[in-house]
Amino acid sequence: MSLFLIAALPFLGAVFPALLIRAGRNAAASSAGFTTLLAFIGLMLHAPAVLRGEVIQASVDWLPGLGLNANFFLDGLGFLFATLILGIGLLIIIYARFYLTREDPMGQFYSYLLLFQGAMVGIVLSDNILMLLVFWELTSLSSFLLIGYWKHLPEGRQGARMALAVTGSGGLAMIGGMLILGNIAGSYDLTVILQHKEAIQASPLYLPALILILLGAFTKSAQFPFHFWLPHAMAAPTPVSAYLHSATMVKAGLFLMARMWPVLAGTPEWFYIVATTGLVTMVLGAVIALFKDDLKALLAFSTVSHLGLITMLLGFGTKIAAVAAVFHIINHATFKAALFMSAGIVDHEAHTRDIKRLGGLRHLMPITFTIVIIASLSMAGIPPLNGFLSKEMMLEEAYHTTWLGSHWVIPGLAVLAAVFSAAYSFRYIAHVFLGPKRDDYPTTPHDPPAGLWLAPAFLVLLVIFIGLNSNGVAGPLVSAAANAVIGDDLPYYSLKLWHGVTPALYMSAIAVIGGLLFLSQHKRLEAFWNALPRPEAKVIFEALVNGLVRAARAGSDALHNGAISRYAAIMIVFTTGLTYAAFRTGTLAAPTRSVQEAGVLPVIGWICLVVATLAVVMKHRNRLLALVLIGVVGLVVSLSFNYLSAPDLALTQISVEVVTIVLMLLALNFMPKDTPVETPLGKRLRDITISIFAGLGSGGLIYALMTRDFAAAPISEYHLANSYKGGGGTNVVNVILVDFRGFDTFGEIIVLGIAALVIFALTEAILGSRVRARLLNRKPDMPRAGDAHPLMMVVATRVMMPLALMVAAFIFFRGHNLPGGGFIAGLIAAIAVIMQYMASGFAWASERQRFFFHGIIGSGVLIAAATGMGAWFNGLPFLTSAFGYIDWPLLEEFEWATAALFDLGVFLAVVGAVMLALESLARFAWQPGMETEHAMDINPARDDVAEDEKEA
């Protein structure tokens, strides 16, 4: 079977349980089991070849640019792990079917489990380290889901988060390490990297790469000081603990160290980091395990200890130690998975896994007892079980290893760990199963159905067989895997029970005797242990994370405090500062233009402008006054445009000024008349300083620009030259607007239209809320004018209406050749209408309004667009204009231009947008059906008429 298929099968299988759960729990379980079995068979088909020493490969390009390819290979090491993953996976699937209760969502469980399985298979088959990273992180994610499977338990949630944080961070560190490694070797393919031992170990980046990769491996394999997450991961359902947290996932770190062993091992750095970490972990885990009352916690720390043992062996860097490591991986997986499952059985049956509440179970659960006693004795290292064999090899290696010149450190501590290991193994048997039968179990336990004990029983059989006939049962697998780790020249080793009277045998004996001794003194030791001050990892971790969250929250909230004034201040300081820095790092050429003499008029205008601007700043708290002053500023600006020979700009500016002031007055009507002082003096001083600097900066910039010529001929020269020839108009400004850069204008009228729509939508939103009632019941905060519709004004505006529209038409048509155009004309037309609203009232005016403003805006944009599209029919680009001249009889020559049609679109969009904005604002104070009093009535005697009506 192709390696792709083997790796993909679990992922495919993950889909079925989730979908099939409606078909029942058995369907979900069997679909999971079936796909796993299929993958397992596929793997086994490769067994003969792999055990012969062949390497099976399969590859396909995925992201060749990065060097990330879906390359898989199967060698002895990969085969060993894949066998463990799929084989134990199968057992777990059977076990879990009977373990989970009716309330547990089983489809989800199997989906997560298979997801995890696929990720694990991916890790061990990857021939590309980036690919391996992908699967590596996937195991972290799927283990997160599995640990948190019982969502309602706080331990599950915390354990899941802790595991994700620890293993996830290790994985991230490993990304860095792998990238370095790939860069040294020039490829991310494992098979290539494995051939670059010298280059890698000689590289100055060897140590950082090593540390980063080891961080990944240590966190995953729960090595000190990252071991603390594993016991808390035991909040997961027991099948998960048995599978992920003893047999497979926690071995991924070991796998990685074994995988990288050929290139990374053999240096002093490797030895001291890896072996020491392993040693410390082994001892610490064993010691803690003895004092845990929770069965799963005991097993968890025991797992930590055994992982440390294997790490230490790999860290020794000798070939024979690597063989021992490989062998112990197999043995540990068999007895520890069996033990976890048996712990699950006890929990399942007795509804507690607290050792203090258990005891005497051998009478009630004989089958479970048998399983436990074999597996525990193997864990304790009792012959003839498999645990004895590999522990013996470990002790032998430990005996020969010196640490910082000392011959005693490693053997001594190894024996100490072995003593504790034996002690907790015996304790599992003695305190749970031996002793008198009790009558205070939460429920009376008995042996479970076969579905639960078959899987551990099978593993226990393996424990015995490997122990009795290690060469026959595990020999080929061990040698194939060891071959893959250390290369072809396997050292001499023998997997057998009796090696003669060696130091290791003495050490084993000490361990067993010491273990029994410790168990007999357990009560005293426990009292001593409990009296010791110990850091509680979970408390520290939670405090750390919570502290970080609080700090992040405080920092983030303080930074983003929602004060726009501060945001703006930061922005202005940053932009002016950086711009100034960029300016200073360049060279400024001398000015090329001389400064003109200032006449009297400009100086007067300048003084007006400065005074008005300063007055706005001083008086901005009185909003009405500020508005008037802003009007003055606008007026001076338009006058200066006019003075500087820009009549188009002046016209536009002044009409825009009128319209905006009217709209803002309308808006002010609904707002408080004064701006309260909200900021302390210090902040205001800060803002004043910033403003002054920014103002000086922009002034200086503009001065520098105006005193210099263009570096090259500007494009405006072309516009001047071609305005009449190519655009048919002598007013270059207008030709630029409707022709040269008509596309910009098209965009801008859309902006204007959208702005009006937004004002409308905003009004609707506000009027649909509670604000509406408040607005309608609003009491004016200033006395109202006695006459809302003064006679003079009504008369004047009505007379002016046709005149103003005439002016608009005039401005519109002259636009192409003389100052004017659609934009200005639109504003003037809008002003003509606005005057009616102002003088005669909203209701009166809107009654006479026949076109919806939305429609006017839409038609404006559409006319402009249609004009532009007209060019397509001549095969020309969008917005290409055409013009010509018609001789009207009796009249002078008349020019037509499609640009005028475009300008009509502009005109309509402007009128519509302004009016829609006005109407929207007015609606805050007006409801349909309200009538304007007296608007039409310009009879001076109207008050008498009104009184008459009242009486009637």
Partner 1 sequence: MNHLLIAPVVLPAIVAPFIVMALRHHLQLQRVFSVGSSVLLSIITLALAVQAADGTIQIYELGNWSAPFGIVLVLDRLSAMMITLTALLGLAVALYAIGSGWDTRGRHFHALLQFQLMGILGAFLTGDAFNLFVFFEVLLIASYGLMIHGGGAVRLQAGVQYVVYNLLGSTLFLFALGTLYSVTGTLNMADLAVRVAEMPADDTALLRAGALMLLLVFAIKAAVLPLHFWLPASYANAPLPVAALFAIMTKVGAYSILRIYTLVFGPDVAATAGIVTDWLLPAAMLTLAAGAIGVLGAREIGRLVAFGAIASMGTLLIAISLFTAEAAAAALYYTLHSTLAAALMFLVADQVMERRGGAIVATGPMPQSGLISALFFAGAIAMAGMPPLSGFLGKLLVMDAARDADLVWWIWAVILAGSLITIVGFARAGTEIFWKSHDASISAAPAETSTDADPDPEDAPSGALALVVIFGLVAGLALLTVFAGPVSHYTEATAAQLFDPAAYINAVLGSAK
Task: Find the helix packing angle between 503-520 and 366-380, rounded to 10°.
Answer: 130
Strand partners of residue 63? 68
Greatest CA separation found in the chain? 132
Nearer to partner 1, 115 or 482 (CB): 115
- What CA–CA distances, in Å, run from 430 to 123, 366, 369, 520? 39, 14, 11, 10
CB contact at 8 A, 391 and 351? no
Distance of closest approach, residue 711 Cβ to partner 1, in angstroms: 6
For residue 74, the SS3 value is strand
Nearer to partner 1, 61 or 944 (CB): 61
The residue type found at 388 is F
Nearer to partner 1, 492 or 873 (CB): 873
Nearer to partner 1, 118 or 262 (CB): 118
Distance of closest approach, residue 32 Cβ to partner 1, in angstroms: 18
Tell me whether residue 181 is exposed, middle or buried, using C-beta atoms within 10 angstroms of its C-beta: 0 to 12, 13 to 18, 19 or more: buried
CB crowding 134-172: b at 16 or more within 10 Å, else e: bbbbbbbbbbbbbbbbbeeeebbebbbbbbbbbbbebbb
Nearer to partner 1, 405 or 562 (CB): 562
Nearer to partner 1, 21 or 636 (CB): 21
Q: Is the dihedral of CA 753, 754, 756, 760 positive or negative?
A: positive
Instruction: Quote the CA–CA distance of 123 and 722 in Å, as a whole number.
Output: 69
Distance of closest approach, residue 574 Cβ to partner 1, in angstroms: 6
Nearer to partner 1, 592 or 596 (CB): 592
Distance of closest approach, residue 184 Cβ to partner 1, in angstroms: 11
Nearer to partner 1, 61 or 536 (CB): 61
Instruction: Quote the CA–CA distance of 416 and 275 in Å, as a whole number.
Output: 16
- Residue 225, preceding peptide bond in cis (omega within 30° of 0): yes
CA proximity to 43, closest of 72, 11, 79, 10: 79
Distance of closest approach, residue 222 Cβ to partner 1, in angstroms: 18
Nearer to partner 1, 184 or 275 (CB): 184
Q: Is the dihedral of CA 765, 768, 773, 776 positive or negative?
A: positive
HEC string of 896-927 equals EEHHHHHHHHHHHHHHHHHHHHHHHHHHHHCC
Question: What is the 3-state composition of the chain as percent helix, strand, coil, each rounded to the nearest 5?
Answer: 75, 5, 25
Distance of closest approach, residue 150 Cβ to partner 1, in angstroms: 9
Nearer to partner 1, 237 or 753 (CB): 753
Distance of closest approach, residue 562 Cβ to partner 1, in angstroms: 6
Distance of closest approach, residue 112 Cβ to partner 1, in angstroms: 11
Nearer to partner 1, 718 or 894 (CB): 718
Distance of closest approach, residue 570 Cβ to partner 1, in angstroms: 5
Distance of closest approach, residue 482 Cβ to partner 1, in angstroms: 30
- Strand 56-63 and strand 893-897: the pairing is unpaired
Q: Which residue in the block uniquely carries the two structure tokens 């475009």?
A: 902
Concatenate the DSSP letters of all residues of 115-137 into one string: HHHHHHHHHHHBSBHHHHHHHHH
CB crowding 655-691: b at 16 or more within 10 Å, else e: bbbbbbebbbbbeeeeeeeeeeeeeeeeeeebbeebe
Instruction: Quote the CA–CA distance of 446 and 367 in Å, as a whole number.
Output: 9
Distance of closest approach, residue 845 Cβ to partner 1, in angstroms: 21
Nearer to partner 1, 308 or 826 (CB): 826
Nearer to partner 1, 385 or 879 (CB): 879
Distance of closest approach, residue 748 Cβ to partner 1, in angstroms: 6
Angle formed at CA 250 by CA 297 and CA 208, multiple of 5 degrees: 125
Q: How many residues does the chain have?
A: 952
Nearer to partner 1, 366 or 747 (CB): 747
Nearer to partner 1, 513 or 548 (CB): 548
Contacts of 784 (CB under 8 A, 6+ apart): none
Tell me whether residue 600 is exposed, middle or buried, using C-beta atoms within 10 angstroms of its C-beta: 0 to 12, 13 to 18, 19 or more: exposed
Distance of closest approach, residue 877 Cβ to partner 1, in angstroms: 5
Nearer to partner 1, 744 or 947 (CB): 744
For residue 156, the SS3 value is helix
Distance of closest approach, residue 165 Cβ to partner 1, in angstroms: 5
For residue 467, the SS3 value is helix
Distance of closest approach, residue 138 Cβ to partner 1, in angstroms: 5
Name the CA dihedral angle for 360, 363, 367, 368, rounded to a multiple of 10 degrees: -20
Task: Find the helix packing angle between 386-399 and 450-468, rounded to 10°.
Answer: 50
Report the chain's C-alpha Rg in angstroms: 43
Distance of closest approach, residue 623 Cβ to partner 1, in angstroms: 16
